[in-house]
Amino acid sequence: MGIDDGGVSRALIESLGERHLEEQSGQWLANHPLSPEPRAVLLEIPVGPTGDTRSKARAEISKRIRNELLASNLADVNPNPILRQRQIEGTLAGALGLLDLCEYKEPLETKLLLHLQEQWRSLQDADGSWASTANASRIDRARLTAGSVALLSLIRRELIRAQNESAAVDIACETAIRRGLAWLDSCDPADLIHLEVLPNLRSAAVATGRYRFGRIDWFWEGMAFLKRVQNDDGSFGKANDPTTRLYETACGLHFLARAR
Amino acid sequence: MGQCLRQVIMPCVAAIAVAVACSNRFPAVPIAAGQAANPPAANAADPLPPQTSDDVSKIQERVTARLVVAAPTTNPNSRTRSAPRPLVTAKEAEAMRKSAIRFLVSRRNDKLLWESTESPGRESDSLSGYRWGLTTAASAAH
């Protein structure tokens, strides 16, 4: 199965779904117990099944994630740093995933949006950045801060869309976004133009309308960076570990997906 | 950190991409070769997000249009004072994208992809990243 001149063959994508998910037919939802992290549940959205099956599954998962996010309490800090990291990263991914879905489908409840907004704002560090661990690297911090700015901006958009004007002009939220952007503006190019950071940076740029972070034109510099780090076999990055190589290639592809 | 990367971060970003792939959020916006993007949006001097739904839509349209790589050009409206824009043409970007997809496709039968590294019954982290890449590509392809 190849890639035709018109782009990626949809059949290719569906073959993956057939192999991994359609084998389980309609039973896969029943066979997959709810994971502790919403991101894990969202991952199980089937790629292969189409039409009603796909819509039904997505609606079901969306409902589960909404309930999980509404019940989440990030102020309840897990003493295990790994679990804490999962808690934060999972909440961010689940919330961003839902906001992506809700843009043109069903809107999120105002109650959930306000809950997420409050939770996420409270995680912001004094310097305006976000991190999932106390000793996060600069790149990890940039990745999470970009994702957080995207999240708060998208929540704000949804609140405006719901015409909940009192919530939309939440000064504290505006300030959090402003401080997050200021932190990103202060970053070195090497912190932002990085395979791990680029996908979230793009999300933040799309959500806020930014063309640049500081002096960094994220799009053009990102493109030039990808051009530099692409290998002859099409992968991105220099990682020897095949798992990391796959991950970094997916990051690059994510950034490139609309660049055509 | 590498372990954390695989176990935590990759599935997280994968989740977002799966959602986008399912939603087909941004339709491809045609843009003439050489056509400059719209004037820059708000930046450091005015970092706040847009104020109304209409503003949000307009900005999203502008950003989406900008994500379509035009032929190399100099935008006179650009506030960028650093180095000249890198020359990445639409053709090159398309070649890079296809090449990356080919790499992911070429790995689809790797045992590594289908072996669970966390717990029985769970897909591997590699598969998460692989699926993320493909679903992202799928969302761009239609």
Using an 8 Å Cβ cutoff, are B73 and A229 in contact? no
Burial zone of A41 (CB within 10 Å; 0-12 exposed, 13-18 middle, 19+ buried): buried
Higher pLDDT, A138 or B9: A138
* pLDDT tens-digit series, residues A1-20: 333 333 333 333 343 443 44
Using an 8 Å Cβ cutoff, are A215 and B48 in contact? no
Of A47, A160, A247, the CB nearest to B129: A247
* A85-101 average pLDDT score: 75
CA gap A247, B14 in Å, rounded = 9
Do B141 and A8 lie within an 8 Å CB cutoff? yes
Quickly state the pLDDT bin for B47 (edges 50, 70, 90).
very low
* A86-92 average pLDDT score: 77
Chain B nearest CA to A77, separation (Å): 17
> Which of B137, B131, B134 has its CA nearest to residue B10?
B131
Using an 8 Å Cβ cutoff, are B2 and A244 in contact? yes
Q: Which residues form the domain of A60?
A: 22-102
Higher pLDDT, A98 or B55: A98
Q: In the block, which residue shows the tokens 């997959």?
A: A32
**pTM of structure:** 0.69
- Best mutation target among A3, A43, A149 (most B Cβ atoms within 10 Å) is A43
Quickly state the pLDDT bin for B138 (edges 50, 70, 90).
low
Quickly state the pLDDT bin for A180 (edges 50, 70, 90).
very high
Mean pLDDT of chain A: 74
In degrees, rounded to 5, the angle at the alpha carbon of residue B97 between the alpha carbons of residues B92 and B107 is 140
Among A25-29, A114-118, A155-159, the range scoring the smallest mean pLDDT is: A25-29
CA gap A2, A10 in Å, rounded = 11
Using an 8 Å Cβ cutoff, are A210 and B81 in contact? no
Of A10, A224, A253, the CB nearest to B88: A224
CA gap A160, A211 in Å, rounded = 23
Quickly state the pLDDT bin for B126 (edges 50, 70, 90).
low
CA gap A229, A122 in Å, rounded = 37
- Best mutation target among B1, B8, B12 (most A Cβ atoms within 10 Å) is B12
* pLDDT tens-digit series, residues A136-165: 899 999 999 999 999 999 998 888 877 755
Q: So what's the ipTM on this one?
A: 0.73
Kindly tell me if the per-residue pLDDT of B127 is higher than 50: yes
Chain A residues with CB inside 8 Å of B85's CB? 217, 220
User: Which pLDDT score, from 0 to 100, does residue A56 have?
Assistant: 62
Kindly tell me if the per-residue pLDDT of B114 is higher than 70: no
Chain B nearest CA to A7, separation (Å): 6
Beta bridge partners of A212: A217
Using an 8 Å Cβ cutoff, are B1 and A172 in contact? no
**Phi, psi angles (nearest 5°) of residue A108:** -80, 150
> Which of B138, B115, B23 has its CA nearest to residue A15?
B138
- Which tokens go with B16? 């977002």
User: Which pLDDT score, from 0 to 100, does residue A120 have?
Assistant: 92
Chain B residues with CB inside 8 Å of A90's CB? 12
Pairing, β A212-213 against β A216-217: antiparallel
Whether residue A252 lies inside any domain: the answer is: no
> Which of A223, A73, A88 has its CA nearest to residue B71?
A223
**How many separate domains does chain A show?**
1
Higher pLDDT, B94 or A31: B94
User: Which pLDDT score, from 0 to 100, does residue B86 have?
Assistant: 53
Going from the C-alpha of A209 to that of each of A151, A236, A243, B38, B58, the distances in angstroms are 14, 27, 33, 11, 9
Tell me how far apart the 2 most distant CA atoms of chain A are, in Å. Answer: 53
- Asked if the C-beta of A209 comes within 8 angstroms of chain B's C-beta atoms, the answer is yes
Top mean-pLDDT range of A53-62, B65-74, B84-93, B94-103: B94-103
Chain A nearest CA to B58, separation (Å): 9
User: Which pLDDT score, from 0 to 100, does residue B106 have?
Assistant: 79
CA gap A94, A82 in Å, rounded = 18
Residues 6 or more apart whose Cβ sits within 8 Å of residue B75: B36, B37, B85
Higher pLDDT, B16 or A197: A197
Kind and range of the H or E run holding A213 = strand A212-213
Kindly tell me if the per-residue pLDDT of A242 is higher than 90: no
Do B69 and A260 lie within an 8 Å CB cutoff? yes
Kindly tell me if the per-residue pLDDT of A54 is higher than 70: no
Do B59 and A209 lie within an 8 Å CB cutoff? yes
* A118-134 average pLDDT score: 92
* Contacts with A, B 56-115, CB within 8 Å: 56, 59-60, 62-64, 66-69, 78-82, 85-86, 88, 90, 92-94, 96-108, 110, 112-113
CB pairs under 8 A between A and B: 287
* A79-105 average pLDDT score: 73
Kindly tell me if the per-residue pLDDT of A39 is higher than 50: no
